[in-house]
Amino acid sequence: MDHASATAHRGRIRWLGFLLAVSLLTFWSPPTTALLVLKLMPSNATEGNDVLFLVYNRSDDLVGYSWYKGQTVDRKRQIVTYNSATQDSTNGPAHSGRETLYPNGSLLFQKVIPKDTGYYTLHVLNAALQSDLVTGQLHVYLKLLKPTVTSNNLDRMEHKDTVVLTCESEIQDVTYLWLINSQSVQNSTRLELSKDNRTLTLLYVTRNDAGPYECEIRNPVSANRSDPFYLNVLSDKTSTGSFQLNVAGIIVIGVLVGVVLVAALGCFLFLRRTGRPPYPAPGQSFPSMRNYYTPTQTFTAGLTTKQKWLLSFL
C-alpha cells in the first residue's frame, strides 16, 4: 500500500515538471538574431584624447544607420547618417568636424572636450524595415594640473598655533587626498580633514609636524600631486635665541659703521689740512719721507724771516 502511494507521488512530480517545461517554452523563445552592442573605448576619456564608439553584432542586411547626440532619435541632434545602397554618409546638424564614420557603423570621435560628455545613440534599419537602437555614455575630464599647498599661518608657535593647509586646484570636480611623509592622512586628535578633504587642520602644532605635506587630486582618468610643503614651527626658546642674535648683530653692524665714519672723517681732515690726499693717485708711488717737513720746518712754516732769524740764536 505504501509502495503504490510513493509511485503515485513520483508520477505527480514528473507531471508537474513537464507542465513547467511546456510553460517556459510557451512564454520564452531564444532571440533569432544577436543584439546590437555598443562599446566606448574608453568611456572615461581625458580632454584631447580620441574615443572609438565600437559596434558589435551588426547584421549584414542593413539599409542604413545614423548617430545622434542624446538618448533619442532627433534630427536636430543627428551627427551623421549612412546609406548602405549608395555607401554615402551625410553629416547632420550635430556634426562637429571631429567625427569619422566607418562602414561597419563604428564612430571615431577625435580630440574630445568636456562639452562632448553625454549620451550617444546609434539607430540602425535593416532590409525588413526593422529598426534597432543602442546607446552609450561618454565622460570627458579635464587634464589635472599640479595643485599647490597654502598655509594660513606663516609664524607658527609650538603648542600654541593652529595651522590650516589648503589644497589649491584650478579644477573643482576632483577628489582630494593628503599625505604626510608619503603616508595617507586620517582624522585624529590633532588632525582634522574637511568634508571634501580639501583642507587639513593641525591643532597646536609641534616641531614634529614639520612635514613634508603633499596633496593629491584625482578624477576617474588621472591624478596629480603637489610639491612637498614644509612647516617651520618655532618654540619660545628658539624665538628668544633668535631675538638675542638679532640684537647682537645690530650692535656689531653699528660698531662697524662707526669705525668707517671715523676713518672717513680723519681722511677728510687730513686732506683739508695738507691739501693733498693721504694716498698716492693711481699709478703713482708713495713719496719719499725726505719730501715731508721736519718737525722744525712744520713749526716755522708760518713765521716771517725776522722771526726765523731771532729763533736761530735760541
Q: What's the sign of the alpha-carbon dihedral 230, 154, 193, 45?
A: negative
Q: Which three cell numbers, joined as nine digits, stand for 212?
A: 613634508
Q: How many helices and strands (H and E) does the chain possess?
A: 4, 20
Asked if residue 208 has pLDDT above 70, the reply is yes
Asked if residue 37 has pLDDT above 80, the reply is yes
Asked if residue 163 has pLDDT above 90, the reply is no
| The pLDDT value given to residue 39 | 93
| The pLDDT value given to residue 178 | 94
| The pLDDT value given to residue 270 | 60
Residue 287: band (very low, low, confident or very high) from pLDDT cuts 50, 70, 90: low
Which regions of the chain does DSSP assign to beta strands (E)? 37-41, 44-46, 51-56, 62-69, 78-83, 88-91, 99-101, 107-109, 118-126, 131-141, 148-151, 156-157, 163-168, 175-180, 183-184, 191-193, 199-202, 213-219, 222-225, 233-234
99, with CB counted inside 10 A (0-12, 13-18, 19+), is buried
Q: Which of 3-17, 105-119, 140-154, 245-259 has the lowest mean pLDDT?
A: 3-17
Q: Is the pTM of this model over 0.75?
A: no
Which amino acid type is present at position 274?
T
| The pLDDT value given to residue 191 | 86
More reliable by pLDDT, 138 or 238:
138
More reliable by pLDDT, 152 or 7:
152
Residue 172 CA, chain-centre distance (Å), reads 11
What distance in Å separates the CA atoms of residue 57 and residue 106, rounded to the nearest whole number? Answer: 11
| The pLDDT value given to residue 291 | 47
